[in-house]
Structure 1
């Protein structure tokens, strides 16, 4: 059985498998609450949320229910939150954290990430738009200044660990080379699955003692506005199916186990109770080195979540190779 947590560079530990709470707009918010309850009941101890998901109230309510009924204690759970791009002004970071904590009914977050490296203008909703339907970008905010505000949240005890999400190598280096850096990013959460295995970014992060966490680890077709619906379906890949047969496991199990064995935190999403339960059953088998190499070989450099809407921003992360 694999270790159930990874050590971060700040001395804190993070569960190797997380439950992602994002859901498309057509899924009722009440289902966020129910799914999070199920996830905790079946064994998930890492809950991955964000202001952008607009369901912190429901997710927080589920956490409080499972604490109240004795399923878990607060210290058993690891909660990840994220700073949305309209809150990148340094004076807005701490108030945003405090607002999320109040909504979640939590005293602290275990991990808080800068959700995306690009900034949007404050106000006007989650994605402020101009009259032509284009996002209102903010190109004045410095990533290093945002990071300093994140460090202050850690010092204030609002968050235990801090990190980033969707940062490329260059953007990570901006933070790492910042004069007066107090805390390195503990985690970089990015899209990661066998069709986009992020091997170069993973190698770089390892060299800097930064953990990689993966989202969309089972592929993604749920969000029609953000995901190319003509993309191949990862879980229909014959290689994953063939390896799964060998172990009596599903392609989803193989995709999740692949990440854990690479040292990547695997954040899976499902709102179907049976699938949530199944996605946790990845600790009773181990892929061979040959299996791992075979899965490495199906990489297509295929990004499901490419967000061309924000491509004009100078800090749009996907212009670089990795």
Structure 2
């Protein structure tokens, strides 16, 4: 799995065609890892871009690592395989390198309800139901439609249950990871189980959906420790966040449609390493500041993100 990927969640503020163009530019620059999801609503356009660059001979399918994700309203046993097949059709691919369960609980949006809005139809995580979904994910591997399967936004209690029951354990867990939200306990557990951590929002996601912004939020690139270390290395603070992520051992998937920023992000992986002292300083700026707050997944008006998300290590049933 390439050490850095291009995220493609941008259709809430960037056109699908712009995201597809970014995919082509990223591949020209040297990216070989593209992180997609059906809910982003742009896989058809990305598929056209992938088909174009493969047909041009610039890159072969085998050189690319393409990830996609099963959305929350497709957890039913009968929906998993058709959903993956729809993604493959949209992306114009015969197989995926990695397919993830996007969130560990089902969420059913009312007809015409935008996925970025609050929904009263979300349901809590129930492990027996999740395992029915996971068994179908395992079948996708057996069918040759995907090379590997994994999880996204899973917490330690849920992962422990899954690891105990899965025939094929998750290859990766994709989760929000940046200097202000390092999730060290979960990160350490994931690594200890041989699961590769993949981090979204590696630069703090300043363009995240409005639903997730609050007055007390700070963006990582404004942190004085990050700014000082970045200045010392002669790189942009955002680039430093990507470098920190890769050096820590996680795979960052920053989103950008700017070729200059894409190049800076991928070049950060081959610039001189941060010192132990600098890594230590960055470890101390963790604010436990979750930027993707998940208000869309609350199933009761008075429940919080933590109620949904394994408060005190318990699982909502």
TM-score > 0.5 by shorter chain: yes
Deviation string 1:64-122 (CA, Å, 9 cap, x unpaired) is: 11112221110110001000000000110000000100011000000000000120237
Structure 2 partner of 1:100:
87
Shift of 1:177: 1.2
Structure 1 partner of 2:23:
36
Structure 2 contact 109–122 (Cα < 8 Å) conserved: no
Shift of 1:126: 7.0
Match of 2:172 among 163, 170, 187: 187
| Structure with greater strand share of residues | 1
Report the secondary structure of 1:299's partner residue: coil
Shift of 1:224: 3.3
Deviation string 1:257-311 (CA, Å, 9 cap, x unpaired) is: 1111111011111122221222111112211111111100100000000112323
- 1:258 aligned to 2:244? yes
For the residues of structure 1 that align with 2:142 and 2:211, how far apart are their CA atoms?
A: 35
Structure 1 partner of 2:161:
174
Alignment of 1:228-307 (within 5 A): 228-230=213-215, 231-282=217-268, 283-307=270-294
For the residues of structure 2 that align with 1:223 and 1:242, how far apart are their CA atoms?
A: 25
- 1:137 aligned to 2:129? no
Deviation string 1:196-224 (CA, Å, 9 cap, x unpaired) is: 01111111011111111000000123233
Match of 1:317 among 292, 309, 312: 309
Deviation string 1:121-171 (CA, Å, 9 cap, x unpaired) is: 3773676899xx633124577111111110001111100010000000011
Structure 2 contact 12–209 (Cα < 8 Å) conserved: no
Report the secondary structure of 2:14's partner residue: coil
Match of 1:219 among 204, 211, 214: 204
Deviation string 1:47-77 (CA, Å, 9 cap, x unpaired) is: 0000010000111111111112221110110
Q: Which runs of 5+ in 2 are unaligned?
A: none
User: What is the total number of aligned residue pairs between the two structures?
Assistant: 305
For the residues of structure 2 that align with 1:129 and 1:197, how far apart are their CA atoms?
A: 24
Shift of 1:226: 3.3
For the residues of structure 2 that align with 1:106 and 1:126, how far apart are their CA atoms?
A: 29
Superposition RMSD in Å: 2.3
Structure 1 partner of 2:190:
205
For the residues of structure 2 that align with 1:81 and 1:275, how far apart are their CA atoms?
A: 23
Structure 2 partner of 1:18:
5
For the residues of structure 2 that align with 1:87 and 1:232, how far apart are their CA atoms?
A: 34
Structure 1 partner of 2:101:
114
For the residues of structure 1 that align with 2:106 and 2:92, how far apart are their CA atoms?
A: 27
Report the secondary structure of 2:139's partner residue: helix
For the residues of structure 1 that align with 2:148 and 2:64, how far apart are their CA atoms?
A: 14
Structure 1 partner of 2:73:
86
Report the secondary structure of 1:268's partner residue: coil
Q: Which runs of 5+ in 1 are unaligned?
A: 1-13
Deviation beyond 6 Å, 4+ runs, structure 1: none
| Structure with greater helix share of residues | 2
For the residues of structure 1 that align with 2:210 and 2:26, how far apart are their CA atoms?
A: 27
Structure 1 contact 220–304 (Cα < 8 Å) conserved: yes
